[in-house]
Amino acid sequence: MNEQADSPPNAGRLTANGPLILHGRIRHVPREGAPAAEYTQVALCRCGASGNKPFCDGSHAKVGFADAGHCARPPEPPQGAAEGDLVLHPIPNGPLRVDGRFELATTDGQRFVCGEKTWLCRCGASGNKPFCDGTHKKTGFVA
Ligand code: FES
């Protein structure tokens, strides 16, 4: 079920101080060559502390993750609508790469389309959340 009646088939929503909720036809490939699991909705960890990465397990509340869920620098929009398959590829010790197009809504009312490849921060330290800016290398993020 989409959050808003006019949302496209693939829609994501940032939450303040918490995960990114993503709806669509979603496959998760835990590592290259591994079988994929399929979902229609996932909550993606943004704080780096989940014990069930790349999914949220509520740890953001325990570690005091603080992020308003805004986006200072939206990406250039891809060609095409926010539909089709979405595939989650966790990059070892780095971001979560999402292959496919999805619309992302921020907590301050922005809506824009991401894709064909989007690198979402999952370490909690990016200066350009919700996207990776390479800070995970400086912080020694391990996942
Ligand atoms: S995963 Fe957080 S900055 Fe890259």
CA of 74 to the centre of ligand 1 (A): 16
Q: Which residue in 33, 34, 35, 53 sits closest to 43, CA to CA? A: 53
Instruction: Give the Cβ contact number of residue 60 at 10 Å.
Output: 22
* Contact (CB, 8 A) for 116 and 99: yes
Give the span between the Cα atoms of 91 and 42, in whole angstroms.
Answer: 18
pTM of the model: 0.94
Encode pLDDT of 121-131 as tens digits: 999 999 999 99
Encode pLDDT of 2-30 as tens digits: 445 577 899 999 999 999 999 999 999 88
Tokens matching residue 126: 């990016």
Cis check: omega of the bond before 78, within 30 degrees of 0: no
Structural domains of the chain sorted by starting position, each given as residue range(s) with its CATH number in brackets: 11-138 (3.40.5.90)
* Contact (CB, 8 A) for 72 and 65: no
* Contact (CB, 8 A) for 65 and 47: yes
Residue among 120, 132, 138, 142 whose CB has most ligand 1 atoms within 8 A, to mutate:
132
* Contact (CB, 8 A) for 110 and 71: yes
83 lines ligand 1 (CB under 6 A): no
Encode pLDDT of 33-63 as tens digits: 889 999 999 999 999 999 999 999 999 999 9
129 lines ligand 1 (CB under 6 A): no
- Looking at residue 111, its pLDDT comes to 96
